Chain A
């Protein structure tokens, strides 16, 4: 290996000015927490410095940093997932026996009062929606946000999070079933 001929491919001195906003925006749309996103961007820069010598210039500097950030985001979700475990997941259907796949009595959708009136745009509605989304288990929340709010392709999400598409739909289905219940209790029939 010829190190003497090596030209500086990376310019860490300019990273903050050039990429901080882009990476922050990328992170915040996936973790939905500005402080956490800031930390992830910082960790990405640190990791970038550490492994700068391995950068071969086969991709652009930005692509390379985004790849590091992606790994950080996935690590972040692994951490929160293992901490909270499955405790928060509320089932909506019988999961065994004769009634397997039927609605659990207490989770049966109720009819909504003045639905059309209550679904018109207003700020209170939006903040209630956000509260309900934040109550989702982290992985459900991430996949739901990416698919529904960021409107990413199914394939893209599966690739990024390394899950199958049937896995993705189960997560989104559970998320939406929780959200329906949460909005019913706190908004439509509150």
Chain B
């Protein structure tokens, strides 16, 4: 077994991010847990990453609540451009 259990901080934080979306594999989760056990910096990062996720969720909800449309003036202008183009 030469499977590398020791992760770099860069890889650990990448797995941490994948985990935020629920897409880390079981093996990755175990690797991450071990890394967080020995690395205080990444442990801090991991906590902050979670805080960021909750902020992004808030933004996502906001964004979904607003349906963006073109104004009727904009549509009219678009229609005129299109008419010219067609001739």
- A contact set with B: CB distance below 8 Å: 12, 15-17, 20-21, 24-25, 28-29, 34, 38, 41-42, 45-46, 49, 92-93, 100-103, 108-109, 111-112, 115, 119, 121, 125-126, 129-130, 147-151, 154, 169-170, 172-173, 176-177, 179-180, 183-184
Q: In angstroms, how far is the closest chain B Cβ from the Cβ of A158?
A: 12
Top 6 A-B residue pairs of the complex, sorted by shortest distance between their CB atoms: A101-B8, A93-B10, A101-B10, A173-B14, A16-B79, A21-B69
B17 contacts A173, C-beta separation under 8 Å: yes
Is B51 in contact with chain A by the CB < 8 A criterion?
yes
With A126-B62, A180-B52 in contact, is A20–B70 under 8 Å at CB? Answer: yes
Query: Would A180 and B85 count as touching, CB distance under 8 A?
Result: no
Mark contacts of B29-44 with chain A using CB atoms, 8 A cut-off: 1 yes-contact digit, 0 otherwise. 0000000000001001
Residues from chain B with a CB closer than 8 A to the CB of A49 are 82, 85-86
A148, B60: Cβ atoms closer than 8 Å = yes
**Contact call B51/A119, Cβ cutoff below 8 A:** yes
B45 touches A169 (CB 8 A): no
A147-B21, A148-B60, A184-B48 known, 7 other contacts, Cβ within 8 Å: A25-B68, A42-B81, A101-B7, A102-B9, A111-B44, A112-B51, A149-B60
CA distance A156 to B45 in the complex (A): 28
Task: Decide if B8 touches A102 in the complex (CB within 8 Å).
Answer: yes
Interface string of B54-75 (1 = CB under 8 A from A): 1110111011000111100011
Chain B residues lying within 8 Å of A173, measured Cβ to Cβ, are 13-14, 17-18
Inter-chain contact B82/A16, CB cutoff 8 Å: yes
Q: Among the interface residues A15, A112, A129, A173, which one has the most CB atoms of the partner chain B within 10 A?
A: A173
Q: How far is the CA of A19 from the CA of B78 in the complex (A)?
A: 12
- B23 surroundings in chain A (CB, below 8 A): 154
Q: List the B residue with the shortest CB-CB distance to A24.
A: B70
Chain A residue at minimal CB-CB distance from B24: A169
Most buried by B among A15, A100, A103, A111: A103
CB distance from B12 to the nearest CB of A (A): 9
List residues of chain B with CB within 8 A of the CB of A41: 70, 78
Q: In the complex, which residues of chain A have a beta carbon less than 8 angstroms from the beta carbon of B49?
A: 176, 180
Give the chain B neighbours of A45 by CB distance below 8 A. Answer: 78, 82, 85
Q: Which residue of A lies closest to B79 (CB)?
A: A16
* Bound-state Cα–Cα, A38 to B74, Å: 9
Task: Please give the distance in Å from B56's CB to the nearest CB on chain A.
Answer: 5
CA distance A46 to B74 in the complex (A): 16
Flag if B82 contacts A169 (CB, 8 Å).
no
